[in-house]
Chains A and B, each alone.
Chain A
């Protein structure tokens, strides 16, 4: 995983609440055996109509969305299925951070494992971001802060271990493998065996 330390970008805003992972990437695109190239399917059925024509009203199809690395969404982003294809698609499309007042557990976990930064903000901040689409944000992962264009800085919560892994680009599998002896000792010491 590449280290993620700072994200500076304009925002794309999707005010809808409860955006589920079926919206992020529909199930019919999950028959792949690769994690690459899924950006083309991101929000597929919102971006394109049944004939494959891009919907000009959908925010990602508007010129202002080009090159944006930060997605701001309504409350409870990423609910539903555990498909890791959702953060893979967001990353492949070019997003590096997602912001909402609540981010569903499995989606948040999957995002952190891949270097997509999930940021939870309070209602007031979200409303400001939703009402001011396209503004520049400056995200400092080490400080866990989000700077608005007017210089105001907002702290966001992030698990210390997850932050460390993001900043250093640490693969958590390596961390687990280092504990092989502890895992073996646990297996041997259990009073019952599964």
Chain B
């Protein structure tokens, strides 16, 4: 008799090359290794030193996203002027390593390049039931497709390049049931911020989260990716969502999915990738989406988050909490609305997909970015940029006074020169409000694309809902 299994257990057990014992971890096979310029050069150095080759170039996909400029440049020389010598060198090294090891690179000149967690799904390389890793914590994004996807360090990048495998202890499981439906003006970003606020930035440590329930089933794939993307901000090893018709519809037209009869067989297999009735999780949390509000962070980690109209809580004597409020120059006791904004960033692997840009554009349309506010809109990939331009979104943003850029990680972490100035307040659709994340001394409020757009227009932190009812 087979006992009831979770989605995670099904994908995990399908990839065990050597089972774990008390003395040794499992050897886990990896179906897709995504690589980018920041976390690979030291791993390639090890392969060079040891005379090793890449075991499965066909299961490895490379791009460049972190250190790349978001203004158009045509040469490495020009790139160095924009992003700095060191970042440009890293981009050049990526090209050299991919050439040397025979790896497919969606490089700087490719119209398929973009943020690694955007292009994996966009190209259809991300598929249900796969194990997917990348030297990047936001690899959890790909779990939206029912893949087991997690971030690894550079030493492990070397392990996967050389052996296509990782040494892993089996994580525990956490069921996150989200009942009800998200109200109008409240999106996937608000939901995941509310979840992190509830379970804490370490609430998922050691666990793989499975997001379930009506609010998740109702979501399109862009929204599911936003939710899974920020699993890591709750400390989780990965986030997963069982694939369904939304998943298959998203993938059906993508270039790298199985074709013809192979597609039918794949979908039949993918349909079995859900937690069986009665499957047991190590932990379970249930949340209602029904009365959820737009969420904004007020501190220096994503768990320090409140509803847009709620007052900032006081420190309760916690010195780390006090330190965070001091850094943010935010006082307890009143809501963040009316806090003046310097920069608005719409982008990152969390919120740079077409529907994110569309939601921001719907609010911006016919309005002007407030005086003194800089709004930067950075699509997640060159393909999204093209699709958005076909819909005229670039013109909507430009006419409002926002900057429309080439794709990349950009101001999420400011490795490419796109930074928030010291002391400036940014409302950002990215994933981390850590001290200095967007630039030295930068103060970051995380929010949805709708809240970010509304804040850009208002010039202060703003509830997007009045803008939505106004526009429709």
Contacts and interface: CB of A to CB of B under 8 A. Distances in A.
A, B co-complexed:
yes
Size range of the chain A interface in the assembly:
35 or more
Contact of A113 (B151, B153, B202): B153
B432 A16 contact: no
Interface stretch (B241-249, B367-375, B435-443): B435-443
Interface in A135-192: 159-161, 164, 172-173, 175-177, 179-180, 182-183, 186-187, 192
Contacts of B293: none
B42 A35 contact: yes
B415 A172 contact: no
Contacts of A161: 23-25, 167
B125 to A, nearest CB: 9
A15 B233 CA distance: 21
Contact of B201 (A76, A110, A180): A76
Contacts of A16: 319-320, 323
A168 B50 CA distance: 20
Nearest to B204: A105
A31 B130 CA distance: 30
A161 B206 CA distance: 17
A121 interface: no
Interface residues of B, number: 75
Interface string A63-104: 000000000001110011111100000000000000000101
A27 B413 contact: yes
Nearest to A180: B163
Contacts of B165: 176, 179, 183
Interface in A11-45: 15-18, 20, 22-23, 26-28, 30-35, 45
Centre residue among B17, B46, B237, B266 by max chain A CB count within 10 A: B17
B324 to A, nearest CB: 9
Interface in B147-162: 151-156, 158-159, 162
Contacts of B23: 160-161, 164
Contacts of A23: 434-436
A33 B42 contact: yes
Interface string B221-245: 0000000000011010100000000
Contact of B152 (A30, A82, A104, A192): A82
Centre residue among B32, B86, B137 by max chain A CB count within 10 A: B137
Interface string B48-80: 001010010001000000110000000000000
Contacts of B39: 82-84
Given A22-B432, A27-B437, A33-B89, A79 B235 contact: yes
Interface string B150-193: 01111110110011110101000000000000000000000000
Contacts of A177: 52, 162-163
A92 to B, nearest CB: 13
Centre residue among A50, A75, A104 by max chain B CB count within 10 A: A104
Contacts of B434: 20, 22-23, 80
Nearest to B422: A50
A149 B167 CA distance: 36
A177 B66 CA distance: 31
B332 to A, nearest CB: 18
Nearest to B83: A31
A59 interface: no
B163 A183 contact: yes
A194 B32 contact: yes
Contacts of B294: none
A76 B202 contact: yes
20 contacts: A20-B434, A26-B440, A27-B437, A30-B38, A31-B84, A31-B415, A33-B45, A74-B320, A81-B432, A82-B151, A82-B153, A104-B235, A106-B152, A114-B155, A160-B23, A161-B23, A161-B24, A173-B50, A192-B265, A194-B32
Given A17-B320, A159-B25, 7 more contacts: A18-B201, A23-B434, A31-B87, A81-B136, A173-B163, A176-B27, A183-B17
Interface of B: 17-18, 22-25, 27, 29, 31-32, 38-39, 41-42, 45-46, 50, 52, 55, 59, 66-67, 84, 86-87, 89-90, 93, 127, 130, 135-137, 151-156, 158-159, 162-165, 167, 169, 201-202, 205-206, 232-233, 235, 237, 265-266, 269, 301, 303, 318-320, 323, 413-415, 422, 432, 434-437, 440-441
Interface of A: 15-18, 20, 22-23, 26-28, 30-35, 45, 50, 74-76, 79-84, 102, 104-106, 109-110, 113-114, 159-161, 164, 172-173, 175-177, 179-180, 182-183, 186-187, 192, 194
